[in-house]
Structure 1
């Protein structure tokens, strides 16, 4: 007889602790999935074993110990995975089962016994290994000794767009495979990495690679998980969730475009992918490479402090100069009577590119047709009943859509408030930009790449293949087009409005603007000729815009880090957002008041000065729930202390079943909405 301590797969906040069961099967192991009776009705629940014991602990009552029903012989996590899950519960204040679930597969075995293998039959991009530049050789000379010696290390590969960072990643992974070790290649947007996947398939073969992402069916994901867990797979490629792939003996974890916000989970558990990568790699003596042309301010600061080894690649692989970036002051355009979305300069350059057979990318980080609908007579603005934010008009569907919860409404013919016929569409999204582009350049073939056009399976491949095959002249898109696309014939990139990201209420707004301009600009001139970028802005003098135009990361960073230090923002502090929500606004407000009072008491007078709020969240209502929030600015070095305070308050609130509100914490969120 064995005794096992398990975590129950149960959504209730009141069961987030270990429960002990008897197990008659002596083969039970740590990490194993088991089925146990739970609660008064002894309903059979899934659970995961964290500890196997020969005897009960002295405080346990043998009479109250229930017996496990059965074991799952296929699903078993390693000790390292369990330890990482426990690390997550402490680090992100999530429930243990939420952390464990990151490591477990969705879906179930195929009833027919047939293995579902995504990308089966694809050959990939074959060819000889590329010759390395001197900078690539120096990068590998610094990284590979760590792989060969099985020595843990962190590297920031700061390479300009088109500098050949992917080839460095592949050489590092090849060294891991050669030494019978495994590797994880993380990308910010899996659906846009067809080119990377093809290169990996061509170099390493499809039989050695698993691709994990959210677009896989549950059954496909289950089978991929089993292939990895059995040891059939050496390399896993995927978006952030692939960091939890059930690999052992991890030699390298690589985060391509490490600055991307998608590496921070916005769903429970709200983890930071880089932190999980470091935790897992360290357990096996593996390395972590964070690669980017525009590193996050936090990562670059850590490199300055010596936590990351910084490796610079300053030239493009093909030796072509970085694109010429020109800014256009849209205030002057308006003063000159130009009310078009295209400045005179951008219009002329688009026409010239098309005439010379070069393709164009137009970037506008706002989807939809217009950004809001308003009545010109009474000022009414159409808002989502569930979320309280402006709904966006989509002309193709003739619907207004909430971009937060997905709710759709018919377009009103009359103002719902005053009955006026003077309803007008304001602002511009990618859908309207596509329409205006077609009018301005009627002979050009256009396509749009945003969340609305890629929702159907296979649509993104069709759009990108058409552009690669030059069936499309102008590609219009949101920030998706700035993520790693590599097309040799793109001669011009037009950034329609750099001010959208610059004016968001976020301390990272300048950083996001610099990154978006630089990354979007990086899509130009990746072939034999130098590219050209036009940045339209109402703030041409802003340091994020001028530094991006000059391809000068260092100048941007020096200005930005001074601002962060002066205001006490990350990397000099951790920002902790505490959100309280309820179906009733009065309950949400009362819950926020109680949470604030308990936090201030726990923090004490001095530390409580760092608590800002409480007030309705910028998105005051989401999915029918009212939201209040407060921000706790945690000075550097005090995170364990502050999280212990928040954890104690959370537990106190959860323990009182009379409370009619939910509370969650997001540490260093990328959005405070």
Structure 2
């Protein structure tokens, strides 16, 4: 007996194995990758048919039949199914969760049919002059249709005819109504492909990429180019070659707000060939874009990390811009890394993968040094513009000289100079809010969130304390909740407070702030960036949003207020993140005609991440960082899995963690595979759930991952597994 293997489309690890169903004869042959409706207990569920198997003998239990087929054609290609299976086993998530990443609409049991619309087709015997004169609009529409020959209801409505008038004309003899598939559109103008001239250095980097695109070779290229060296031009040239071969190009950018800038550049060259994928699109926009790709009306996808799951085949090129960026790692639910998925899809589609960055991830550069990736280098800015001059300011010395302001003397001078020259400046402060914490001067206790083990941040708008983990908020207390003292004091500076100080010290400056507090509305962040690019603001102040990939011609100066904010995070990658952030934000200065100047304020001026960022010395930083990681067995010289157990009862969380450690100890090999924990996390409680952690570190974790995937650990409630934490 032959049965269908169906994965139930529920994010439940206990249902990770496929269920067997019979295929009724009236449904015919259902191809793998098709979504189906199946009975499960007393309910009806959506499932994905992933294959078939033959039973050696008839089972003793009833095999229920598939109830309906939801897709006219399979939604999942064989490549998408195999990539989802890889992702499920590598990142230790349910296969249904991995498959859901490729779907556009998360609603269950919903069929998708290509959108159709009604068209009015005029026959030779249609006589609009027979329409009564008193029906003026119907008569006008009749003659208009006779002139056109055919038109859609939608286009007629756009031309000013109301739906009741159109429906009445449909009833006249000589008018036939047809159902036709909607011709999907993008938001962009028709294709206007322009020549993309490359410098000699760019051409040398492009040639091997071009060969890989034309020969359908799954090479991985690490394009290491200093800020402003023209990596985007190489991306566009490679995409043009991909189009010439009638294949799909996927371009990933780390942030949605960056999408608009790179989309604009691609649209200028490729027009209607471009579609956009990101999490803020409506369902209809997603379907529209997928339909264009499926029919190959468009060939270029641009978007944030979720765009790597575009449900399309025949991929001819994948580009990951700013490949070092931690935004490519999904930090909740399914904790995948888009760069890893891009590698899998590149191999499956036999197409090249370009990883581009001015500060490549340590992992990517290490693989390039091992010859696994092909290293391509752009060592100079376009037209050989100099890299900005960077000045490091020790804030401990500023305090010794009595300057307790958030601005050092050098920073204040640079702001005045930039404003005086009528140029623009970016200021980075990686802390939002007004004051970073509120503390009682009597007992020394900060005001903490009652649901999380963190100090709340004061936000001037609303005059409230807010938790950045659970968004709990409350008014600022008049007395200390710990000791009853009235000596409540605000400490630290967030972007709101710095904005206020900038306005007080530089009253004529036009200042824009860019952080999560001002980008809650759709399109608000993009508008701020567009206005700044158009010269409507003198200073752009913000969190790390302002550091990534922006190309503003008028920016000649950059200021970093607290370079240590990332450096002090207890992560093995803290130095790398600091170097990346400082180098990237410094690279925003002096990209056009003016010479760039950068001032970086720090309390740790001798740290190698800060020293090397001053010199724009990626190679020097890499050598120090890889040496430190080699000594400690950190990635890329070792692999890691982080386990977080969350429970309302701290003792129960610890007991579950200890049980997991006991089960994994059979794999323990000192020096090759180590298990650390269980231990309380730095932030012990979030949203009333206590957090206990385990870290597994080793040279090869495949065996232990296979064990976890098939054991009770995989289905343990309250357990979150993060493979390759960053």
TM bucket normalised to smaller: over 0.9
* Distance in structure 2 (CA, Å) of the matches to 1:294 and 1:448: 26
Question: Per the alignment, in what secondary structure is the counterpart of residue 198 of structure 2?
Answer: coil
The answer on whether the counterparts of 2:6 and 2:18 sit within 8 Å (CA) in structure 1 is yes
What's the counterpart of residue 694 of structure 2? 630
In structure 2, relative to structure 1, the CA distance for the partners of 1:428 and 1:130 (3 Å cut) is same
In structure 2, relative to structure 1, the CA distance for the partners of 1:441 and 1:113 (3 Å cut) is farther
Contiguous gaps of at least 5 residues in structure 1: none
In the TM superposition, residue 165 of structure 1 has moved relative to its aligned partner by: 0.4
Question: Per the alignment, in what secondary structure is the counterpart of residue 94 of structure 1?
Answer: coil
1:528 aligns with 2:584: no
What's the counterpart of residue 37 of structure 1? 39
Question: Per the alignment, in what secondary structure is the counterpart of residue 200 of structure 1?
Answer: helix
CA deviations over 1:114-140 (Å, ceiling 9, x no partner): 799999443499684342111110011
In structure 2, relative to structure 1, the CA distance for the partners of 1:630 and 1:117 (3 Å cut) is farther
What's the counterpart of residue 361 of structure 2? 296
In the TM superposition, residue 111 of structure 1 has moved relative to its aligned partner by: 12
The answer on whether the counterparts of 1:127 and 1:202 sit within 8 Å (CA) in structure 2 is yes
CA deviations over 1:361-412 (Å, ceiling 9, x no partner): 1001111111111111122222222222111111112122221222222222
* Distance in structure 2 (CA, Å) of the matches to 1:356 and 1:116: 54
* Distance in structure 1 (CA, Å) of the matches to 2:706 and 2:367: 25
1:183 aligns with 2:243: no
In structure 2, relative to structure 1, the CA distance for the partners of 1:644 and 1:253 (3 Å cut) is same
CA RMSD, aligned part only? Answer: 2.2
What's the counterpart of residue 50 of structure 1? 50
Question: Per the alignment, in what secondary structure is the counterpart of residue 249 of structure 2?
Answer: strand
* Distance in structure 1 (CA, Å) of the matches to 2:595 and 2:190: 28
What's the counterpart of residue 218 of structure 2? 152
What's the counterpart of residue 144 of structure 2? none
- The counterpart of 1:317, out of the listed 382, 391, 415, is 382
In structure 2, relative to structure 1, the CA distance for the partners of 1:282 and 1:653 (3 Å cut) is closer
What's the counterpart of residue 99 of structure 2? 100
- The counterpart of 2:718, out of the listed 662, 665, 669, is 662
> 123-132 vs 495-504, which deviates more?
123-132
In the TM superposition, residue 22 of structure 1 has moved relative to its aligned partner by: 1.0
In structure 2, relative to structure 1, the CA distance for the partners of 1:125 and 1:405 (3 Å cut) is farther
What's the counterpart of residue 468 of structure 2? 403
In the TM superposition, residue 177 of structure 1 has moved relative to its aligned partner by: 0.9
In the TM superposition, residue 3 of structure 1 has moved relative to its aligned partner by: 2.9
1:498 aligns with 2:498: no
> 156-165 vs 263-272, which deviates more?
263-272
CA deviations over 1:648-670 (Å, ceiling 9, x no partner): 4xx22467xxx7x4222111112
Within-5 A mapping of 1:234-313? 234-313=299-378
The answer on whether the counterparts of 1:34 and 1:71 sit within 8 Å (CA) in structure 2 is yes
* Distance in structure 2 (CA, Å) of the matches to 1:52 and 1:491: 62
In the TM superposition, residue 164 of structure 1 has moved relative to its aligned partner by: 0.6
What's the counterpart of residue 706 of structure 2? 644
Within-5 A mapping of 1:88-127? 88-106=87-105, 120-123=186-189
What's the counterpart of residue 614 of structure 1? 678
Question: Per the alignment, in what secondary structure is the counterpart of residue 348 of structure 1?
Answer: helix
CA deviations over 1:484-536 (Å, ceiling 9, x no partner): 11110111100111111111111111111111110000110011122110111
* Distance in structure 1 (CA, Å) of the matches to 2:541 and 2:290: 36
Within-5 A mapping of 1:53-72? 56-58=54-56, 61=59, 63-72=61-70
* Distance in structure 1 (CA, Å) of the matches to 2:83 and 2:295: 20
* Distance in structure 2 (CA, Å) of the matches to 1:76 and 1:605: 44
In the TM superposition, residue 258 of structure 1 has moved relative to its aligned partner by: 0.2
Question: Per the alignment, in what secondary structure is the counterpart of residue 5 of structure 1?
Answer: strand
What's the counterpart of residue 219 of structure 1? 284
In the TM superposition, residue 427 of structure 1 has moved relative to its aligned partner by: 1.1
Question: Per the alignment, in what secondary structure is the counterpart of residue 101 of structure 2?
Answer: helix
* Distance in structure 2 (CA, Å) of the matches to 1:269 and 1:117: 35
* Distance in structure 1 (CA, Å) of the matches to 2:192 and 2:654: 60
In the TM superposition, residue 569 of structure 1 has moved relative to its aligned partner by: 0.9
* Distance in structure 1 (CA, Å) of the matches to 2:437 and 2:265: 42
In structure 2, relative to structure 1, the CA distance for the partners of 1:534 and 1:110 (3 Å cut) is farther
The answer on whether the counterparts of 1:323 and 1:521 sit within 8 Å (CA) in structure 2 is yes
* Distance in structure 2 (CA, Å) of the matches to 1:28 and 1:577: 40
The answer on whether the counterparts of 1:116 and 1:223 sit within 8 Å (CA) in structure 2 is no
The answer on whether the counterparts of 2:563 and 2:578 sit within 8 Å (CA) in structure 1 is yes
Name the TM-score, length of structure 1 as normaliser. 0.93
Aligned length: 656
> 244-253 vs 102-111, which deviates more?
102-111
* Distance in structure 2 (CA, Å) of the matches to 1:470 and 1:398: 32
What's the counterpart of residue 9 of structure 2? 9
The answer on whether the counterparts of 1:124 and 1:200 sit within 8 Å (CA) in structure 2 is no
In the TM superposition, residue 630 of structure 1 has moved relative to its aligned partner by: 0.9
The answer on whether the counterparts of 2:188 and 2:271 sit within 8 Å (CA) in structure 1 is no
Question: Per the alignment, in what secondary structure is the counterpart of residue 381 of structure 1?
Answer: coil
In the TM superposition, residue 272 of structure 1 has moved relative to its aligned partner by: 1.6
* Distance in structure 2 (CA, Å) of the matches to 1:606 and 1:309: 34
In structure 2, relative to structure 1, the CA distance for the partners of 1:121 and 1:85 (3 Å cut) is closer
What's the counterpart of residue 77 of structure 1? 76
* Distance in structure 1 (CA, Å) of the matches to 2:90 and 2:663: 21
The answer on whether the counterparts of 2:186 and 2:275 sit within 8 Å (CA) in structure 1 is no
In the TM superposition, residue 220 of structure 1 has moved relative to its aligned partner by: 2.5
In structure 2, relative to structure 1, the CA distance for the partners of 1:604 and 1:110 (3 Å cut) is closer
In the TM superposition, residue 192 of structure 1 has moved relative to its aligned partner by: 2.2
* Distance in structure 2 (CA, Å) of the matches to 1:323 and 1:350: 16
* Distance in structure 1 (CA, Å) of the matches to 2:617 and 2:182: 47
> 120-129 vs 1-10, which deviates more?
120-129
